[in-house]
Amino acid sequence: MSNTERLPVTAITPADPGYAALTTRGNNKRFTANPEAFHVATSTADVVAAVTEALRSGKRIAVRSGGHGYEDFSGAPGTQLVVDLGEMTAVAFDAERNAFMVEAGARLDDVYRTLYEGWGVAVPAGNSATVGLGGHVQGGGYGSLNRRHGLIVDHLHALEVVVTDAATGEARAVVATRDADDPHHDLWWAHTGGGGGSFGIVTRYWFRSPDATGTDPEQLLPRPSAEMLTSTVLFPRATLDKPAFRTLVGAYGRWHERNSAPDSPCVHLFASLVLLGRQRPRPEEGQDMGAVLVTHVEADRPDAAQLLQDFLDEVTGDAALSPVVLPTETVPWLVSKKALSDAQDAEIGRQKVKSANLLGAFTDDQADALYDFLDDADAVHDSSLVALDSFGGRTSAVAPDATAAAQRDAVLKVLFMSTWQDAALDEAALAWMRRCYGAVFAKTGGVPAPVPGGNADGCFINFADVDTADPEQNTSGVPWHALYFKDNYRRLQAVKGVYDPAEVFRHPLSVRPA
């Protein structure tokens, strides 16, 4: 019997009609997973069986939940079996654990809707509707609630992980909790920012805020404002020249420098400044935007309108900017989340992303470098953007070693993204992104390496970028793992040594055993 024939009967091979659809389910169309088989799991037992069979047959295994990985971690050459968690989407209250249970394949939109419509609560997770919870949590996911309620991992009570037992050649499921006396507590900790695909396969999460008491489900997680005050400001490219661009980026960053402490009243405000590159095909005159500023403020605050207006006055009030300010709206919270996700999920195709954690505003030199690349009329990709998202607030009230998510002092999260459709453009589009990122961080070795007096604090593992491990792209002398995990990497290595010393679960940016 061949190795393929010994795979569980639920495995989907190239001979099955459903195989082709599974190969293209990933969000980044640069990568196509073509393993010997997909194992579409519907239970933890399915995952245990798939991992055990991979151990026995010596097959290379990878995992996929929502398919939003920006690098080729689940379909890399040599991967023979992909465990797909896309059908594990349950969201429910678990009375026995007194916490909300969410399976790893659930998408954020379904998680938000189920929790909010059922109990009026939420987890402070990301803004994209289609991101799967599996990898999002493990990387220390953040979103529009982070300034008020911290990261999603700050509310992670427990998780179920399928891990390997090298001695027996079997897989087993263990539950690791936040409780300090739990024998698997370190495994819980490693999944609070250590990234996906390093220690095992997470099948279920349980969420309950650490300060929650009692058994009333409606009191166990954050309760978002029923309504949000939302604002959109447009900056036409025709009036956003280099000096105006520098003014906008600087004012936005400096506001966050001053208003991101945990006790600041401004933690009730979340903003995203999206700096846009020139697009192909070229938009009509008057429709070409150089930047968009979206702001959400909790409407139940009596000073919500004033808080929003003060922010807009400071960031967009310079006469040189000539912004187009759209009417402010008050919308239900779920509607506000959908608006954020519609904007974020619009970019689909072949992609390259990079990231940065900022401790303060971009310098004038950095803003000028951004402008030069985003204004490049000869860029070959179809679209490009640099999004600066509000961070800090309650997130920074947690010690950097309390979870594996170490960059707690950042006030802005930055996503660099370019998107194109034609595979023939891959080389040129990748080169453009690398030059842009390298120019912005030219003084720190081409990456946002932390240096004394600097404004950067490494990268975000959920926006994974293999270039950080390339000495030609990262000349900072700071290793890739320090950019993502800082001083927490040594403890992550220790956890890896206990639960996956044989590196059954691995990819280019996975935690290595010590």
Predicted confidence (pLDDT) per residue in 22-36, tens digit: 988 878 888 888 999
Whether omega before 281 lies within 30 degrees of 0, making that bond cis, reads yes
pLDDT, residue 285, reads: 58
- Match domain 99-223+493-499 to its CATH number in 3.20.20.190, 3.30.465.10, 3.20.20.70, 1.10.287.90: 3.30.465.10
Q: How many whole angstroms separate alpha carbon 307 and alpha carbon 301?
A: 9
pLDDT, residue 281, reads: 65
Q: How many whole angstroms separate alpha carbon 367 and alpha carbon 248?
A: 9
Amino acid at 418: S
pLDDT, residue 28, reads: 86
- What is the phi-psi region of residue 349: left when phi exceeds 0, alpha when psi lies from -120 to 50, beta otherwise? left
**Encoded tokens for 349:** 């195709």
Give whole-number Cα distances, 27 to 134, 340, 380, in Å. Answer: 15, 18, 20
β partners of residue 298: 228
Q: Over the chain (514 residues), what is each successive 10-residue block's mean pLDDT?
A: 44 91 85 91 95 91 88 86 95 98 96 97 94 95 97 98 84 97 98 96 98 97 97 95 97 98 97 92 72 97 96 93 95 93 79 97 98 93 96 98 98 97 95 97 98 96 97 98 98 96 94 93
Other beta carbons within 10 Å of 77? 7
Which H or E run contains 485?
helix 480-485
β partners of residue 92: 101
Domain ranges of the chain: 11-84, 99-223+493-499, 227-488
pLDDT, residue 286, reads: 59
Q: β-strands 37-40, 81-84: how paired?
A: parallel
CATH fold for the domain made of 227-488: Vanillyl-alcohol Oxidase; Chain A, domain 3 (3.40.462)
CATH fold for the domain made of 11-84: 3.30.43
